[in-house]
């Protein structure tokens, strides 16, 4: 079994965060909570995963808008092209906001002594 998948437990049976190892070969030292998908993640890593899922969602939305826009253009549906341009602008703005949140969450990881898990890089 790969050591990256070994579940580390504390001395008193506390379950540790199951986030993958950091680039330094360290593990997250925070206690993990059970999530709906069965992983035990600390709050920081659960938040990070949520942001990454939101990024994937908005990228998929933009890909679909592009596909629908191409179809609308090819069929001469200017009204639909206009509505899809509005949706593209909304989705792009939402994606930029989520990227900013993700960037801020990564910037805040370097602080030490605050009881948080070590940074992921």
Residue 23: give the domain boundaries. 7-41
Residue 95, pLDDT score: 96
Extract the tokens encoding 68: 């629908």
CA trace torsion 45, 51, 56, 61 (10° rounding): 160
The answer to whether residue 54 is domain-embedded is yes
Is the whole-model pTM more than 0.85?
no
Distances (CA, A) of 47 to 20, 65, 78, 79: 15, 27, 40, 39
Domain contains 101: yes
Chain centre distance of CA 48: 5
Radius of gyration from C-alpha coordinates of the chain: 20
Q: What is the pLDDT of residue 18?
A: 77
User: Mean pLDDT of successive 10-residue segments in the chain (121 residues)?
Assistant: 46 67 65 76 85 94 97 96 97 96 76 42 37
In a domain, 96, yes or no: yes
- The rounded distance, in Å, linking the Cα atoms of 62 and 114 is 38
Judgement on whether residues 14 and 67 belong to the same structural domain of the protein:
no
Q: Which residues of 34-48 are buried (b: 16+ CB within 10 A; e: fewer)?
A: eeeeeebbbebbbeb
79 shares its domain with 59:
yes
Task: Output the pLDDT for position 73.
Answer: 96
Residues 30 and 63 in one domain: no
pLDDT at 62: 97
Looking at the structure, tell me whether residues 31 and 62 fall in a common domain: no
């Amino acid at each position: 079994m790969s050591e990256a998948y070994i579940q580390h437990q504390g001395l008193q049976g506390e379950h540790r965060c199951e986030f993958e190892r950091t680039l330094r070969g360290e593990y997250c030292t925070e206690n993990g909570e059970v999530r709906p998908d069965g992983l035990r993640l600390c709050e920081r890593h659960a938040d990070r995963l949520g942001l990454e899922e939101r990024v994937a969602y908005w990228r998929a939305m933009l890909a679909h808008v592009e596909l629908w826009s191409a179809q609308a253009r090819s069929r001469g549906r200017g009204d639909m092209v206009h509505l899809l341009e509005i949706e593209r602008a909304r989705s792009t703005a939402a994606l930029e906001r989520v990227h900013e949140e993700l960037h801020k969450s990564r910037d805040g990881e370097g602080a030490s002594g605050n009881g948080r898990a070590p940074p992921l890089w």
